[in-house]
Amino acid sequence: MKKYLISAVFALLPMMSFAAVGVALDSVDLDPSDKTSLQLGATTYMDYCMGCHSLKYARYNRVARDLDIPEDEFRATLMHSDASFGSLMENAMPAKQSKVWFGITPPDLTLVARLRGNDWLYSYLRGFYADASRPFGVNNLVFKDVGMPHVLAELQGVCADKPQMGGHEDRGTHDDGCKKLAVEGTQTKEEYDETVYDLVNFLAYMGDPNKLERERLGWMVLLFLAVFWFISLLYTRELKKDIH
Ligand code: HEC
């Protein structure tokens, strides 16, 4: 019994380390079938994140195809490099120098939605606030003393104090989040929530690009089983008739 208890504690350890963040998160309901949202998220990603964070387990052409963006349009509006269209989505951030600049090399984000979860990402990207004691003048509610600057500050502005989180988030209709801005941004609070929603939708797609297809196949399999079950039912009935 003791052995089982000990192994259960070890099995739960990774969960506990996440729970130890101790901050309530805003939750978000994503829609992987919303192509417009995914396209907007991809645009924000390529404009604001790709410079530091690669997506090196994905390829440009696959993303363009999944998101219904024609190659010439993808190249013109989303790709800020002349890499080949079939190549992996890498960037030119030098790992060694970036460690000096930020204290840590910005990690690849292809699988970050699976690692951190959608709610965490949604809260993290809306969780920056002014903190003069930090190198970039900001801290983050869900990632204390983070090494990343608030790269979306031009859109959101900079929150004067810790934002409030931990409720169900119906994009923009909620009443919590950042109460007061120290610096204004170009977007309203609702618009910024929408921008982050699209960005997280895109990162969730990145971490699980086959989700829609898998779900579609799942339904097909169930349908097949149901039809097959019905046929075998009829067949057994026929057989039983012969027995009597
Ligand atoms: C100027 C470089 C830079 C840019 C641009 C940037 N980041 Fe970061 N980001 C970092 C660094 C550095 C870290 C590591 C922070 C740490 O561990 O303290 C990081 C960490 C993260 C993490 C946490 C990863 C983890 O699991 O530890 C996420 C998520 C993230 N960034 C998302 C984004 C998104 C989304 C964008 C675009 C809106 C973006 N970043 C733009 C530098 C950047």
pLDDT at position 126 over 60: yes
Distance (Å, rounded) from C-alpha 38 to C-alpha 41? 5
**60-64, 97-101, 173-177, 225-229, range with the lowest pLDDT:** 173-177
Distance (Å, rounded) from C-alpha 83 to C-alpha 203? 21
Q: Note the pLDDT of residue 177.
A: 79
Q: Note the pLDDT of residue 16.
A: 47
pLDDT at position 166 over 90: no
Alpha carbons within 13 angstroms on the beta-carbon side of residue 147 total 11
pLDDT at position 229 over 80: yes
Distance (Å, rounded) from C-alpha 44 to C-alpha 57? 19
pLDDT at position 115 over 50: yes
Name the 3-class secondary structure at 55.
strand
For 128, the enclosing helix (H) or strand (E) is strand 128-130
Q: Note the pLDDT of residue 59.
A: 97
Q: Note the pLDDT of residue 178.
A: 87
Distance from residue 173's CA to the centre of ligand 1 (Å): 27
pLDDT mean over 179-199:
93
pLDDT at position 210 over 50: yes
pLDDT mean over 116-133:
96
- What does the angle CA 157 – CA 162 – CA 179 come to, to the nearest 5 degrees? 60
Nearest by Cα to 39 from 66, 57, 71 = 66
| Ligand 1 surroundings by CB, under 6 angstroms | 48-49, 51-53, 102, 104, 106-107, 109, 112, 115-116, 121, 124-125, 146-149, 151-152, 199
Give the total residue count for the chain. 244
Q: Note the pLDDT of residue 170.
A: 58
Distance (Å, rounded) from C-alpha 47 to C-alpha 98? 19
Residues 167/176, Cβ–Cβ less than 8 Å: yes
Distance from residue 53's CA to the centre of ligand 1 (Å): 7
Q: Note the pLDDT of residue 19.
A: 46
Q: Note the pLDDT of residue 176.
A: 61
| Phi, psi dihedral angles at 88 (to 5 degrees) | -70, 150
Q: How confident is the model at residue 22 (pLDDT cuts 50, 70, 90)?
A: confident
Distance (Å, rounded) from C-alpha 138 to C-alpha 169? 24
Q: How confident is the model at residue 6 (pLDDT cuts 50, 70, 90)?
A: low
Q: In this prediction, what percent of the chain has a pLDDT beyond 90?
A: 71
Q: How confident is the model at residue 11 (pLDDT cuts 50, 70, 90)?
A: low
- Any idea which architecture 25-209 has in CATH? Orthogonal Bundle (1.10)
pLDDT mean over 40-48:
97
Per DSSP bridges, beta strands 181-184 and 88-89 are unpaired
Distance (Å, rounded) from C-alpha 43 to C-alpha 199? 9
Q: pLDDT: is 69 or 20 the higher one?
A: 69
pLDDT in tens, 73-112: 999 999 988 899 999 999 988 888 898 899 999 999 999 9
pLDDT mean over 29-36:
95
Testing ligand 1's pocket by substitution, the residue of 91, 138, 148, 196 carrying the most ligand atoms inside 8 A of its CB is: 148
- List the structure tokens of 61: 């052409």
Q: Which residue has the tokens 């130890």?
A: 20
Residues 157/181, Cβ–Cβ less than 8 Å: yes
